[in-house]
Structure 1
Amino acid sequence: MTRIVVVDNHGQFTHLEGRALRDLGIDSDIVDNETPPSEVEADGFVLSGGPDMDRAGRSAEYLETGKPVLGICLGMQLIAEEFGGTVGSGEYGGYADVTVRIEDPDDPLVGSLAPETRVWASHADEVKELPEGFVRTGTSDVCGIESMSDTDRNLYGVQWHPEVAHTEEGEAVFENFRDVCEQASDE
């Protein structure tokens, strides 16, 4: 059974991420972001959302494990910053129902979603410039980079929250990430 561990960056929806994974039959736990990756056995990691990059603990160390990583909201921003992208304040601010346009139908994380997908997202902060090696896979009228992928390194990010009921195809995002983790563990 695939094991995906959620790294808790103190976001209000972190517990829902673990539950969404378990509801799909994925072996999942939530660990505090101060937990060293060497103490965690997993096929992949989810870096949760959270209120502040300064409280991300050891989250960046999970990017060095060689295992697939999915960053959600703050988790995506952390990935971007670690690899040379730019994060800044969003023009929109708080949580909102947003229509994301999927730009890459072949992307392993979001490519299977409807071309226009309704999501629940916060845009207080957002990725402004992609890091080298990443491609933009989703955009909206609110945010230029709603999702990104680096398939060579199996690093993925979504600005939105796939774990909440307001997001139409959130379950598919987690299913697709499970598939990425399974494929990576077979290699």
Structure 2
Amino acid sequence: MTKIVVVDNHGQFTHLEDRALRDLGVDSELIDNDTPPEEVDADGVVLSGGPDMDRTGQSAAYLESDMPVLGICLGMQLIAEELGGRVGSGEYGGYADVTVDLLSENDPLTGSLYPETRVWASHADEVKEVPEGFERTASSDVCGVEAMSDTDRDLYGVQWHPEVAHTEEGDEVFENFLEICTDD
């Protein structure tokens, strides 16, 4: 059975990420963000959302592991910041129901949602510039980078929360990430 760990960055929906994976039949485990990657035996990693970039513990170390990584909200921002992208304050601010435009039907994480989907997202902070090697794979009228992918390194991120009921096709994002993890 495929195992995916959810690295807890203290987000209010982190337990729902773990639950969504378990509901798909994944062996999922919620772990503290101070857990070093070398102590983890898994096929993939979800870097959860959270309130503060200063409270992400060992999360950045997972970017150098050999496991596919999915960053959600703060997790995506951490990926961008650690790998040379740019993160800044969003113009919109808090949580909102947003229509996201998918930019590629070939992206392994979000392509199946093409051409658009409705999501629940926070835009207090957001990725302003993707790191080298990444492709911007989704945008909206409130955020230029709603999702990004580096398929060569199996690093992916979404600004929105696929784990909440307000996101229409959230389970599909987790299903696609599970497929990435089993193909790796």
Fold match (TM-score > 0.5): yes
Q: How does 1:1-187 map to 2 (within 5 A)?
A: 1-184=1-184
Please give the root-mean-square deviation of Cα atoms over the aligned residues, in Å: 0.5
Gaps of 5+ in 1: none
CA contact (8 A) 2:43 2:68 kept: yes
Once residues 153 and 116 of structure 2 are traced to their aligned partners in structure 1, the CA distance between those partners, rounded to angstroms, is: 26
1:40 shift after superposition: 1.1
1:79 shift after superposition: 0.3
Identity, % of aligned positions: 78
SS across alignment from 2:112 = coil
Letter in 1 for 2:148: M
Q: Which deviations, in whole Å up to 9, do the C-alpha atoms of 1:10-67 show, x marking residues without a partner?
A: 0000000000000000000000000111111100000000000000000000111121
- The alignment's TM-score, normalised by the length of structure 2, stands at 0.99
Letter in 2 for 1:27: D
4+ aligned runs moved over 4 Å, structure 1 = none
Once residues 76 and 156 of structure 2 are traced to their aligned partners in structure 1, the CA distance between those partners, rounded to angstroms, is: 7
Letter in 2 for 1:153: R
Gaps of 5+ in 2: none
1:114 shift after superposition: 3.9
1:115 shift after superposition: 1.1
Once residues 104 and 66 of structure 1 are traced to their aligned partners in structure 2, the CA distance between those partners, rounded to angstroms, is: 25
